[in-house]
Amino acid sequence: MSIELATSEHPAIHDSACPIELCQGGAKSALSHWPDTAEITAKAHRLINEPAYSVKPEKMVEYRAYFDTKCQGSRASTAEAAKYIPGGVQHNLAFNHPFPLDITKANGAYLWDVDGNRYIDFLQAGGPTVLGSNYAPVREKVIEVLNECGPVTGLFHEYEYKLARLISEHMPNIEMFRMLGSGTEACMAAIRAARNFTGKKKIIKVGGGYHGWSDQLVFGTRIPGTGAHEAAGIPDSALANTQEFFPNDIDGPNGLIALFEANKTTGGTAAVMVEPIGTESGTRPVERGFNQRVRELCDAYGALLIFDEVVTAFRLGMGGAQGYFNVKPDLTVFGKCVAGGFPAAGGVGGRRDIMSTFSAGIGGGTERTLVGGTLSANPLSAAGGYFAISEMARTHAPCKAARAADRLTEKLNDAIQSLDLPFFAYNHGSIVHLETHGVLLLDITDPGFLMKVFQRKHVAQEIGAGYTAEGIITLAGSRLYTSMADTDDVVDDAAERFYRVLSNMAPASFG
Ligand SMILES: Cc1ncc(COP(=O)(O)O)c(C=O)c1O
């Protein structure tokens, strides 16, 4: 099948109005609104201070029976996997209670497991597939490239510049783009370039933010204030120049300004790295003016501003979060969508003067910021990204996915209210948060913190199993990525399935 994809010669539509109703900011941004951060924070506070809710025991028996009777193929193959693969899965997203599913087919809004069960897919591979899973028009174009030259040659391929140029057209702050193998690598590259360019030492991040698993960034991950808690195997020295401040805390005694000030005499601040919608894809959302203030402070203190747009670039709209907030970062980190759901997905882009320090070998002198990767920017990843991003622009996929998310969120909140549950749902475009267990919302200063983590992780597993047994795949039971494939029918069907789980919940007992 031949399809017409947008190309650079047939330019993108980032400045024109989006025909999909409710999109703010033309096609640059797919959001219909920015939910009130103070209200979400208050609801989060209430959720974690009320007793944890879980699926009623009698319903849990039914859900377990689903896995016992309907998922025997998954059980067998993942039991075999556990003999050879640590933990039985290669990726944390694939954990599933009571055992992982063996997925054999993906198409649009749906996944199928080895036993033939169908699921509505709100994981969407962890974010990249805004067009829907296994989107045929892009897949076919990529297969053409594979048929011609295979996935890798080690030499230059035209889709490398086509992708970089396309990104720059949609996100004009990306004057140059260096493609890498993953978001983790791209975050490493960004902070290295920041230090090289500024000659300063410290990297400040927002507590709770995940910026991949490199030595220097496994600090204050998932839950603010946890510092080196997850840094097993990482020497203290690797973390000595990484700092965190609590979400939205700019002016407090331990806030961003205090860190900037303290750093003046200890090597200076090279960069502040933020997820521009808030940590963990907006689980702790930013206040509306946050990014602009951080921009101004970075300018005042001579630090670079790095946006980690691994999730948000293209999912939030073709202009990414920076297009929505109209704030210009110095560097932007990409992952996921940048290879259109194909491996390997990562890259860093931004100001020409900073990006030029990456000029690997050619023209790079002593100032070179060393990055590499045998398989970086291979024809498969570059073509996958190019065709997917072109197609996302042509079809207004981020806007369609966001409208599906708006509809889903409204239905989830209706269910929560009608059932009088202490839960809440909200969405930033096509990223939906359905907060029922609140594990990532817990407060480290709460004396009951550790007990609550333990209990609520258990509850999260049971709720996640309930969703799965009802035919829905989520990210860790609390995050739902929608895609262009989520039609009203898919969303309405999903809402009914969620309702069946939510209507069978009660305060949990941990006896
Ligand atoms: C905001 C953010 N940054 C960085 C990463 C790391 O990307 P990757 O998994 O490609 O290494 C992730 C992964 O989920 C992420 O969500």
Q: Which one of 63, 210, 426, 467 is the catalytic residue? A: 210
CA 444/CA 358 separation, integer angstroms: 39
Beta-sheet strands, E only, within 269-428: 269-274, 278, 284-285, 304-308, 331-335, 346-350, 424-428
Expressed in angstroms and rounded, the spacing between residue 179 Cα and the centre of ligand 1 is 15
Residue 87 region by backbone torsions, left for phi larger than 0, else alpha for psi between -120 and 50, else beta: left
The helix (run of H) or strand (run of E) holding residue 257 is helix 256-263
- What local confidence, expressed as pLDDT, does residue 366 receive? 57
Domain ranges of the chain: 53-134+461-511, 158-377
CA 398/CA 483 separation, integer angstroms: 7
Mutate which of 180, 205, 211, 274 for ligand 1 pocket (most atoms within 8 A of beta carbon): 211
Same CATH fold, 158-377 and 53-134+461-511?
A: no
Per residue, the 3-state secondary structure of 10-34, as one string, reads CCCCCCCCCCCCCCCCHHHCCCCCC
Expressed in angstroms and rounded, the spacing between residue 90 Cα and the centre of ligand 1 is 15
For atom 8 of ligand 1, the residue with the nearest CA is: 183
Residues 91-118: b if buried by 16+ CB within 10 A, e if exposed: eeebebbebbbbbeebebbbbbbbbebe
Decide if 111 contacts 103 (C-beta within 8 A). Answer: yes
Question: How many CA within 13 A on the CB side of residue 464?
Answer: 28
Q: Which one of 308, 330, 406, 486 is the catalytic residue? A: 308
Q: Which one of 59, 141, 200, 336 is the catalytic residue? A: 336
Expressed in angstroms and rounded, the spacing between residue 461 Cα and the centre of ligand 1 is 22
Expressed in angstroms and rounded, the spacing between residue 205 Cα and the centre of ligand 1 is 14
Distances (CA, A) of 283 to 23, 50, 112, 438: 22, 19, 28, 10
- What local confidence, expressed as pLDDT, does residue 12 receive? 43
Expressed in angstroms and rounded, the spacing between residue 333 Cα and the centre of ligand 1 is 9
CA 334/CA 385 separation, integer angstroms: 11
Decide if 470 contacts 426 (C-beta within 8 A). Answer: no
Mutate which of 179, 180, 210, 273 for ligand 1 pocket (most atoms within 8 A of beta carbon): 210
Expressed in angstroms and rounded, the spacing between residue 270 Cα and the centre of ligand 1 is 21
CA 508/CA 490 separation, integer angstroms: 31
User: Residues with Cβ within 6 A of ligand 1?
Assistant: 126, 182-184, 187, 210-212, 275, 308, 310-311, 335, 345-346
Report which ligand 1 atom has the smallest distance to the Cα of 212.
6
Domain 53-134+461-511: which CATH number of 1.10.3080.10, 3.40.50.10240, 3.90.1150.10, 1.20.1250.20: 3.90.1150.10
205 is catalytic: no
- What local confidence, expressed as pLDDT, does residue 14 receive? 47
Expressed in angstroms and rounded, the spacing between residue 164 Cα and the centre of ligand 1 is 20
Report which ligand 1 atom has the smallest distance to the Cα of 184.
11
Mutate which of 311, 376, 431 for ligand 1 pocket (most atoms within 8 A of beta carbon): 311
Cis peptide bond prior to 344, omega within 30° of 0: yes
Residues 6+ apart with CB under 8 A from 248: 37, 284, 286, 287, 290
CA 90/CA 458 separation, integer angstroms: 21
Domain 158-377: which CATH number of 1.20.120.1200, 3.40.50.800, 3.40.50.1970, 3.40.640.10: 3.40.640.10
* pLDDT digit string (tens) for the chain, length 511 residues: 334 454 444 344 445 567 877 776 666 789 999 999 999 999 999 999 999 999 999 999 999 999 999 999 999 999 999 999 998 999 888 888 999 999 999 999 999 999 999 999 999 999 999 999 999 999 999 999 999 999 999 999 999 999 999 999 999 999 999 999 999 999 999 999 999 999 999 999 999 999 999 999 999 999 999 999 999 999 999 999 999 999 999 999 999 999 999 999 999 999 999 999 999 999 999 999 999 999 999 999 999 999 999 999 999 999 999 999 999 999 999 999 999 999 999 999 999 999 999 985 555 455 899 999 999 999 999 999 999 999 999 999 999 999 999 999 999 999 999 999 999 999 999 999 999 999 999 999 999 999 999 999 999 999 999 999 999 999 999 999 999 999 999 999 999 999 999 999 999 988 7
43 is catalytic: no
For 306, the 3-state DSSP assignment is strand
pTM, rounded to two decimals: 0.95
Mutate which of 180, 182, 184, 218 for ligand 1 pocket (most atoms within 8 A of beta carbon): 184
For atom 13 of ligand 1, the residue with the nearest CA is: 212
446 is catalytic: no
